[in-house]
């Protein structure tokens, strides 16, 4: 019920470096084999650090006089709404996983479930009907939500336990990644990791209330 913007592409290592002045762990590890335009490995701890790209963007927004503007991680609800793009099928292109190779980098396509060397530059495959690229595969995308359990009943603008500093919390990510199978790369699929894991990337949301 509230308008929001979402990045069409996953945040690249080069974009992260331009905003924070630092390289992502992914870029440091695979610099010799992958370009800086590759989606960078980022952890939830990095999102909450003083060098966070979200903090950098919000500071620039304030300096530009946009007092009500806010960059943040998307909630699961925001991400899935954008991913589905008005569809109700398993994938935004239908129920047949045979077409997934045209839309996602995933285990069955890359043949190797190692996420590092198989992460690709965002935007090389087909987008969903609303123009969002790599909603499935490539790298898991960090969410604002931090619990692995949905609340019972319907909710409006749900955010599950958005306490970034909760010790031992489950960090939700969507989109799975190159290590996921076709079955795990679907619009409703959700997984979780630790706050220190750098196996995910960012796709930022923007609101202006």
DSSP 156-173: SS--S---TT-TTPPEEE
pLDDT band for position 105 (50/70/90)? confident
This prediction's pTM: 0.88
Phi and psi at residue 117, to the nearest 5° = -75, -10
Q: Cα–Cα distances in Å, from 10 out to 47, 126, 161, 167, 191?
A: 15, 14, 24, 27, 18
**Predicted pLDDT at 128:** 97
Q: Name beta bridge partners: 94.
A: 91
- 185-204 pLDDT tens trace: 899 999 888 888 888 889 99
pLDDT of 61 > 50? The answer is yes
pLDDT of 181 > 50? The answer is yes
pLDDT of 169 > 80? The answer is no
pLDDT of 34 > 80? The answer is no
The C-alpha R_g of the chain, in whole angstroms, comes to 16
């Amino acid at each position: 019920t509230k308008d929001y913007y979402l990045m069409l592409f996953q945040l690249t290592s080069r974009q992260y470096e331009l905003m924070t002045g630092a390289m992502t762990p992914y870029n440091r590890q695979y610099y010799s084999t992958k370009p800086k335009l590759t989606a960078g490995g980022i952890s939830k701890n990095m999102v909450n650090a003083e060098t966070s790209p979200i903090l950098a963007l919000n500071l620039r927004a304030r300096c530009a006089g946009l007092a009500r503007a806010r960059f943040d991680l998307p909630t699961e609800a925001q991400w899935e709404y954008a991913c589905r793009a008005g569809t109700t099928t398993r994938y935004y292109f239908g129920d047949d996983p045979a077409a997934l190779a045209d839309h996602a980098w995933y285990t069955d396509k890359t043949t190797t479930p190692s996420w590092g060397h198989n992460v690709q530059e965002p935007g090389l495959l087909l987008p969903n009907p609303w123009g969002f690229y790599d909603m499935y595969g490539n790298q898991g995308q960090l969410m604002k939500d931090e619990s692995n359990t949905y609340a019972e009943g319907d909710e409006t603008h749900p955010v599950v336990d958005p306490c970034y500093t909760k010790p031992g919390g489950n960090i939700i990510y969507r989109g799975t990644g190159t290590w996921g199978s076709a079955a795990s790369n679907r619009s409703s699929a959700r997984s979780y990791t630790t706050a220190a894991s750098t196996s995910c990337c960012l796709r930022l949301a923007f609101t202006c209330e």
